[in-house]
Structure 1
């Protein structure tokens, strides 16, 4: 199966967060991703996108929001997506699988922060629901509000005023929350014993979706370097494809010995045709860099994975012990360690 993911990454200018998004994408075979709250200015949009690879197609809502709060990306060889409408609080699109025998509508949500601003979102969702008809529809992302009074801990009690508008839309549009596993509280704030946690990220489906794909579930993954959990929706059959392309890891380019090694090897006298001479020098460079890598970076990927696993263990424990101050300190330490090793990748 291939998956869809929505994730409020809380800023994508940090290279470590780009690396983490790519890891989640590769680990879970994600072919459609909505990245929320990127905080990337439009002038840097292309530069950041290039870090995800050329196989992705992208759309965004910069035309409605200066900060481009929502990016949606997909791999055209696996799915076909047609963006039908963009808004400052959502992107609405039609999704077809590769065979073209299954279609549904998908709306990536990023709700604004005030009750008044979100009223525009609720009105828009009502209008979308009226236009969709009998086609399956899922809505996923950060609604920035809760649906029930038990959806927040360690903060101010949830009031009816906070949840009324959202609850009304869910009832009026006959939406249901998809079955889920993993974290219940999808967002957290604070790093001490008074840490607030709430469930403001959700995935909902209309009656047609629940009728046709009711067995589909969502998984709330560990938040990693964000303060929001990614929502993983596994809903499309995977098509067979080719092998993975070669990946060049460029952390060696920042090593102090990198340029001297390249210059030394390139000055070597290699007899033969021009192409053979180039090939021979490249082989010398490869061998030299392998020695540097073995000496200074051996096991870097194991160290990254170990740091990542330690962070996941602590965050998993926090599901049951949200206010444990020692675990919160451990989470910060594990996060800092992971960032340190990711900078070398």
Structure 2
């Protein structure tokens, strides 16, 4: 940690599990207080620099059904002991299962942090998808326009190469819907740039071409 994450703080659940399967790492800009440690979870209180706070439970559930049943008991105990119905509570990690689809999310967190967004990144060397939580995503404004694909772009000589380069930018060992989404975002940005470089400010381009003809 002193070389890889110099200046950061960390803790693990090694006292509860000899493998220490969960590691939490954070900067000094936030104040983290560990509340509960179990073999499959770490629950902590997170205080942000601007005063807001929430509770976070990191999960690495067992592959065994019997042990996972104990995880649900511990989560219920944490909910009651810490009175988490009164605070925003974020649960993340490898759960391996949920009981009901409604457990995907709950309004007691979104109502306190309306600008939060979770993005699942490519798995790279792991079989798990990293999740990046951003709590300062600008809310959409009135008039926000979706991406439009213009058919005339296909007539440009560089079109196929631009698409190929954007598609190949993200190298993946296996393909998932999340990976497809990331590749599409890369292609969208490349096509926007192709359109700006070659088809924007047409009036100026025509005027410049006309002026050159007059000079000749």
TM bucket (normalised to shorter chain) is 0.5 to 0.7
Give the TM-score of the pair, scaled to structure 1.
0.39
Shift of 1:134: 1.2
Residue aligning to 2:56: 106
> What residue in structure 2 maps to residue 143 of structure 1?
95
Cα deviation for residue 208 of structure 1 reads 1.8
Counterpart residue number, 2:8: 56
Asked whether 1:224 is paired with 2:124, we answer yes
For the pair 1:73 / 2:22, whether they are aligned, the reply is no
Aligned-pair CA distance for 1:313:
3.9
Q: How does 1:303-322 map to 2 (within 5 A)?
A: 312-314=170-172, 318-320=175-177
Q: Cα 1:97–1:115, aligned 2, differ >3 Å: closer, same or farther?
A: same
Q: Please report how far the alpha carbon of residue 236 of structure 1 lies from its aligned counterpart in structure 2 after TM superposition.
A: 5.4
Contact 2:116 2:136 in 1 (8 A): no
Change (3 A) 1:55 1:314: same
Contact 2:33 2:45 in 1 (8 A): yes
2:158 corresponding residue in structure 1: none
Determine which structure has more spread, i.e. the larger CA radius of gyration: 2
In 2, Cα distance between equivalents of 1:66 and 1:311: 40
* TM-score scaled by length of structure 2: 0.61
SS, match of residue 172 in structure 2:
helix
TM superposition shift of 1:213:
2.0
Deviation at 1:216, TM superposition (A): 1.6
For structure 2, list consecutive stretches of 5 or more residues without a partner in the other structure. Answer: 138-166, 180-216
Check 1:67–1:216 CA distance in 2 against 1; reply closer, same or farther (3 A cut): same
Mark the CA change 1:320 to 1:144 in structure 2 (over 3 Å): closer, same or farther: closer
Q: How far apart in 1 are the matches of 2:175 and 2:14?
A: 35
Where 1:120 maps in the other structure, the secondary structure is helix
**Aligned ranges for residues 102-181 of structure 1 at < 5 Å?**
102-130=52-80, 131-145=83-97, 147=98, 166-167=99-100, 175-177=103-105
With over 3 angstroms needed to count, the CA separation of the structure-2 counterparts of 1:60 and 1:236, relative to structure 1, is farther
Instruction: Give yes or no for contact 2:61–2:68 (8 Å, CA) kept in 1.
Output: yes
Residue 38 of structure 2 is matched in structure 1 by 87
Say if 2:107 is the partner of 1:207.
yes
Which whole-Å CA distance do the structure 1 matches of 2:46 and 2:76 have between them?
A: 20
- Give the structure 1 partner of residue 205 of structure 2: none
User: In structure 2, what is the Cα distance between the partners aligned to 1:108 and 1:123?
Assistant: 15
Instruction: Assess if the C-alpha contact under 8 Å between 1:224 and 1:311 holds in 2.
Output: no
Aligned residues: 148
Give the Å deviation of 1:212.
1.7
**Shift in CA distance, 236/74, structure 1 to aligned 2, threshold 3 Å:** farther
Decide whether aligned partners of structure 1 residues 54 and 115 sit closer, same or farther in structure 2, where only a CA change above 3 A counts.
Answer: same
Query: Hey, what does 2:204 align to over in structure 1?
Result: none
Could you tell me whether the CA contact under 8 Å between 1:111 and 1:144 is conserved in 2? yes
Q: Which residue of 2 aligns with 1:45?
A: none
Verify the 8 A CA contact 2:34 2:42 in the aligned structure 1. Answer: yes
CA–CA distance in 2 between the matches of 1:90 and 1:69?
A: 9
Q: In the TM superposition, what whole-angstrom CA distance separates every residue of 1:162-207 from its partner, at most 9, and x where no partner exists?
A: xxxx32xx76xxx443xxxxxxxxxxxxxxxxxxxxxxxxxxxx43
